[in-house]
Amino acid sequence: MAPLPRSTIDLTGRAAIVTGAGGGIGRAVTLALAGAGARVLAVDIDERKAGETAGLATDGGGEAFAIRADVTRSDDVAGYVRAAMDRWGRIDVFMNNAGWQGPVMPLVDVPEDAFDAVMAVNVKGVFLGLKHVLPVMIAQKSGAVVNTASLAARIATRQLGPYVASKHAVLGLTRTAALEVARSGVRVNAVCPGPVDTPLMRDIEVSQSGGDFEALRKRRTSTIPQGRYATPEEVAGVMLFLASDLAAHMVGEGVNVNGGAFS
């Protein structure tokens, strides 16, 4: 009897871009891509954090470099696409990940400029990424995009109105883009993580709890069947799968990564 085939994700030689690469999920997926053999451009508005992520990838034997970009500015987005093309001549994987939770407060108290800022990063940033990356992939007749949505794309959360609205929009953009490019050999999907153990999540909990975030976390984890938050690496693993050929027939999906919460 022949041995069973080993199922491993191999992205050797593929060129990838990760936005928000300085954060928890962004850093984890950059390292996951590099570990799978992909060449990675780490993009973040914080140049130092992007450089740290790229450095971790190269220190581990991968190929990565960093660039600073503001995902809300079309020129900056075109710039990171151009940087990848100048270096590698193609873009095979795009992790459209940059995001911001915005102010944690009741909807009626949210300043208008804060609402606009959340929408700019989480919605316009995703839109601009799709706008500039998809033409490259369409011309190649291949490519995989993974947008970072959230469990907030499906349910509401108190005191995070702009964030919830923005993540609903990300799922809408994912589905629309997926339908438009499906016959071009390009796939667009999204991940919808529940609570993830990142500094961003800690900031939200501190604001929502008035400082006693441990009590809030205990209440939240009690509602999750697995009894804990996801790690960034667990989310990154699903993103890596969606970018791989193992997910070749997945189009326009929003994949929950939430330990069974709200399922």
Sheet containing 15-19: give its strands across.
Answer: 63-68, 39-44, 15-19, 93-96, 143-148, 186-193, 254-257
Pair (81, 156) in one structural domain? yes
Query: To which H or E segment does residue 238 belong?
Result: helix 232-243
**Is 8 within the bounds of a domain?**
no
229 is annotated as an active-site residue:
no
pTM here is: 0.93
**Is 6 within the bounds of a domain?**
no
Pair (103, 79) in one structural domain? yes
**Is 203 within the bounds of a domain?**
yes
Pair (164, 39) in one structural domain? yes
**Is 117 within the bounds of a domain?**
yes
* CA neighbours closer than 13 Å in the CB half-sphere of residue 187: 20
Query: To which H or E segment does residue 145 belong?
Result: strand 143-148
Pair (96, 207) in one structural domain? no
Residue 173 has a pLDDT of 98
Asked if 209 and 203 touch (Cβ cutoff 8 Å), the reply is no
**Is 224 within the bounds of a domain?**
yes
Pair (175, 207) in one structural domain? no
Q: From first to last of its 263 residues, what are the pLDDT tens digits of the chain?
A: 566 555 589 999 999 999 999 999 999 999 999 999 999 999 999 999 999 999 999 999 999 999 999 999 999 999 999 999 999 999 999 999 999 999 999 999 999 999 999 999 999 999 999 999 999 999 999 999 999 999 999 999 899 999 999 999 999 999 999 999 999 999 999 999 998 888 777 777 777 767 677 777 787 777 888 888 889 999 999 999 999 999 999 999 999 999 888 65
Look-up: residue for tokens 């994700």? 9
Residue spans of beta strands (DSSP E) within 2-140: 15-19, 39-44, 63-68, 93-96
With H, G, I as helix, E, B as strand and everything else as coil, classify residue 190.
strand
Residue 116: give its domain's CATH number.
3.40.50.720
Residue 73 is which amino acid?
R
Cβ burial 178-217 (10 Å sphere, 16+ → b, else e): beebeeeebbbbbbbbbbbebeebeebbebbeeeebeebb
Total domains in the chain come to: 2
Pair (199, 77) in one structural domain? no
Pair (116, 171) in one structural domain? yes
Look-up: residue for tokens 């590099």? 34
Q: From the candidates 80, 94, 127, 163, give the one annotated as an active-site residue.
A: 163
**Is 39 within the bounds of a domain?**
yes
Pair (140, 219) in one structural domain? no
Q: For the chain, percent helix, then strand, then coil, each to nearest 5?
A: 50, 15, 35
82 Cβ contact list (under 8 Å, min separation 6) = none
Residue 12 has a pLDDT of 96
Pair (59, 101) in one structural domain? yes
With H, G, I as helix, E, B as strand and everything else as coil, classify residue 198.
coil
Pair (221, 170) in one structural domain? no
Pair (164, 206) in one structural domain? no
Q: Which domain holds residue 149?
A: 15-194+235-251
Pair (212, 126) in one structural domain? no
